[in-house]
Chain A
């Protein structure tokens, strides 16, 4: 009994850190985008494209780090497209985000079935390697993760510092609060928004490629709402990278409950466990709803007169 409880918690940590990294990367990107005044609603589609291109690159180069590059590439391209739509053409940000989501979701699954569905076996790509293999179970669960996991956790203080303590971070916040005033003091609003939106989509692309590369394969409908959960986490964190880490950890653990229960063979229908992150997210957003502070220009396009 004791060992099974221990197994259960170790399993939660092991699986949960994988989920946390994905949520963390995507939500950190979205925090930056929302701070500059534009919600990145295309994140789910961007992650799908990141997953597909990450898988594809890892497969053809037989190197999982090239897969990450594929994720970055997919995210950046989607980010440029979305930025052009919402910043230069000033299209309704919700509609543009939703349309990019539909394109990304459809295109990634379509390209996968087109290229790989006629194979008689499951096509696998190299997985991201882990380096800290240890004979001690607890040490190995805590430390044996990919370099991306480490980088994601280490990026939190950096991104927090950049956003709140540097000139450029304050420029982002100023653009989000009052683009007109920011423009008046010489900030290039268009450039700032382009930068944050491309950054957020790139982070989404990395997060998506991570989903595919940790298991080394791609499945149709693989993202399964994790992009939307990341957007919710960004809202829940009040657009603060530090709280974003805590929220990602929370949702990482909640999402790991399902697989962990399955590992120890506990009989709860897995569908209910898979539901919990989505229900928990609604409750979480509900808790912070009363004091949620959105940037003042949130959702509004800015055009110079």
Chain B
């Protein structure tokens, strides 16, 4: 299909054309409602002042040196995963298997690190490790995409099933008799990675994210694939009539999103965890990034802000958990509540827009 055909089709297909202002109002409402509900829950169950709790979370996550570091550590993988998911959800390809893809990215990186250790240390090692993480994630993400394309199986089920498979596989690797178990460690952990592979320079990490954002943004707005994604997402029939190969779109989407999730896992390994552990702290990053993706309105440019908010909530939540004995699982409740109020307001934004227009 040539570009003229594309532009003609754009006019006939009704894309979501909500303006920036209504979007902003919708998100503001969703945020206030979620904060309000969350505050009531905090107050009702935990018997602490909700305003001081929320201000504590934000002041720790943003204005404390330790807190900011933790926020940053969560923000980078969340942003990378959300970028891939944003493209997937635009095509209504509901990939919720980012956790499994992240884990396989980590496992592939770990394998490369263990085999590199025997050879000499070279400056190309870190890019190679990151690349292997991307390959691992993409490989794991291709399975549900192939099943969807060949057998039309719901990707929601398969990606979720594969998450559990990945978690069990990782647990086996570091289990008592597992191949990577560090015999000297008390916990179920792998051997630590050598310290010269640590990647702790925030400038490098941030530039990786920014490059990823630019690439995804260009794919989204400037390529045929980005257009095809929107057509497939808006109507299966339109995709069929315009001769778009849905199989190809799903496969490419899964490669992109899986590679980004795998990259997130491998970055997480090099920056934060340094080991593979059965008690893997970031297992639920994939679930959290479902939410950050929708919070960013599926726009690659907003992903960094929604991930920052989520990062603050996670690190502030851990801090609050440590000082007040409140469980950090509160973050997941809060995220779910916010998700519900967000999609509800998004759906009601038509009504809201009319109200804003006519007073």
Q: What residues of chain A have their CB less than 8 Å away from a CB belonging to chain B?
A: 41, 85, 89-92, 94-96, 98-100, 102-107, 109-111, 113-114, 117-118, 220, 224-225, 228-229, 231-232, 235, 269, 271-272, 274-275, 278-279, 281-282, 285-286, 289-290
How many Å from the CB of A104 to the closest CB on chain B?
8
CA distance A228 to B156 in the complex (A): 9
CA distance A65 to B157 in the complex (A): 32
**Does B218 touch A at the CB level, under 8 Å?**
no
CA distance A104 to B153 in the complex (A): 25
CA distance A286 to B168 in the complex (A): 22
Q: Are A290 and B157 in contact (CB under 8 A)?
A: no
With A89-B344, A99-B340, A281-B157 already in contact, the answer to whether A275 and B335 are too (CB < 8 A) is no
Q: Are B336 and A275 in contact (CB under 8 A)?
A: no
Q: Are B46 and A99 in contact (CB under 8 A)?
A: no
How many Å from the CB of B205 to the closest CB on chain A?
27
8 Å CB contact of B340 from A100, A111, A113, A235: A100
Q: Are B327 and A102 in contact (CB under 8 A)?
A: no
Contacts of B151 in A (CB 8 A): 286, 289-290
* Size band of the interface chain B makes with A: 35 or more
Mark out the residues of chain B between 321 and 339 whose CB falls within 8 Å of any chain A CB in the assembled complex: 325-327, 329-337, 339
Q: Are B344 and A85 in contact (CB under 8 A)?
A: yes
**Does B175 touch A at the CB level, under 8 Å?**
yes
Q: Mark B157-191, 1 if CB is under 8 A from A, else 0.
A: 11011101100110110010110000000000000
**Does B234 touch A at the CB level, under 8 Å?**
no
CA distance A95 to B161 in the complex (A): 18
Q: What residues of chain B have their CB less than 8 Å away from a CB belonging to chain A?
A: 45-46, 94, 96, 147, 151-154, 156-158, 160-162, 164-165, 168-169, 171-172, 175, 177-178, 287, 290-291, 294, 325-327, 329-337, 339-340, 343-344, 347-348
CA distance A125 to B343 in the complex (A): 37
Which of A99, A107, A118, A281 is packed against the most chain B CB atoms within 10 Å?
A: A99
Contacts of A102 in B (CB 8 A): 287, 290-291, 332, 335-336, 339
With A91-B344, A102-B332, A103-B336 already in contact, the answer to whether A225 and B157 are too (CB < 8 A) is no
Interface CB pairs A-B, < 8 A, 29: A89-B344, A89-B347, A90-B347, A94-B156, A95-B343, A96-B343, A98-B290, A99-B343, A102-B336, A102-B339, A105-B336, A106-B329, A109-B327, A109-B329, A109-B332, A110-B333, A117-B327, A225-B161, A232-B161, A271-B172, A274-B168, A278-B164, A281-B157, A281-B161, A282-B147, A282-B158, A282-B162, A289-B151, A289-B152
Which of B153, B154, B175, B337 is packed against the most chain A CB atoms within 10 Å?
A: B154
How many Å from the CB of A179 to the closest CB on chain B?
19
Q: Are A289 and B169 in contact (CB under 8 A)?
A: no
Q: Are B333 and A103 in contact (CB under 8 A)?
A: yes
- Who on chain B is nearest to A272 by CB? B172
Q: Are A269 and B175 in contact (CB under 8 A)?
A: yes
Q: Are A269 and B336 in contact (CB under 8 A)?
A: no
How many Å from the CB of A285 to the closest CB on chain B?
5
| Beyond A102-B335, A272-B172, A285-B154, 8 additional pairs, beta carbon < 8 A | A106-B333, A109-B327, A110-B329, A271-B175, A274-B168, A278-B161, A281-B161, A286-B147
CA distance A39 to B329 in the complex (A): 27
Q: Are B335 and A235 in contact (CB under 8 A)?
A: no
Q: Are B336 and A106 in contact (CB under 8 A)?
A: yes
CA distance A232 to B155 in the complex (A): 11
How many Å from the CB of B332 to the closest CB on chain A?
3
Contacts of B154 in A (CB 8 A): 235, 285
Contacts of A92 in B (CB 8 A): 343, 347
How many Å from the CB of B172 to the closest CB on chain A?
4
Main secondary structure of the interface of B (DSSP, over half): helix
8 Å CB contact of A278 from B45, B162, B172: B162
How many Å from the CB of A162 to the closest CB on chain B?
26
Contacts of A232 in B (CB 8 A): 157, 161
CA distance A58 to B19 in the complex (A): 51
CA distance A224 to B164 in the complex (A): 8
10 pairs of A and B residues whose beta carbons are closest in the complex: A106-B332, A103-B336, A271-B172, A289-B151, A102-B336, A113-B327, A110-B329, A99-B339, A278-B161, A271-B168
Contacts of B157 in A (CB 8 A): 228, 231-232, 235, 281-282, 285
How many Å from the CB of A80 to the closest CB on chain B?
14
CA distance A60 to B136 in the complex (A): 48
CA distance A107 to B38 in the complex (A): 11
Contacts of B326 in A (CB 8 A): 114
Q: Are B160 and A228 in contact (CB under 8 A)?
A: yes
- Who on chain A is nearest to B290 by CB? A98
How many Å from the CB of A29 to the closest CB on chain B?
17
Q: Are B172 and A106 in contact (CB under 8 A)?
A: no
How many Å from the CB of B132 to the closest CB on chain A?
23
CA distance A93 to B290 in the complex (A): 15
8 Å CB contact of A228 from B147, B161, B336, B339: B161
CA distance A114 to B348 in the complex (A): 34
Contacts of A271 in B (CB 8 A): 168-169, 171-172, 175
Q: Are B168 and A275 in contact (CB under 8 A)?
A: yes
Contacts of B172 in A (CB 8 A): 269, 271-272
Contacts of B152 in A (CB 8 A): 289
Q: Are A275 and B329 in contact (CB under 8 A)?
A: no
How many Å from the CB of B285 to the closest CB on chain A?
13
CA distance A272 to B170 in the complex (A): 11
CA distance A94 to B178 in the complex (A): 38
Q: Are A106 and B347 in contact (CB under 8 A)?
A: no
Contacts of A224 in B (CB 8 A): 164
8 Å CB contact of B153 from A229, A278, A289: A289
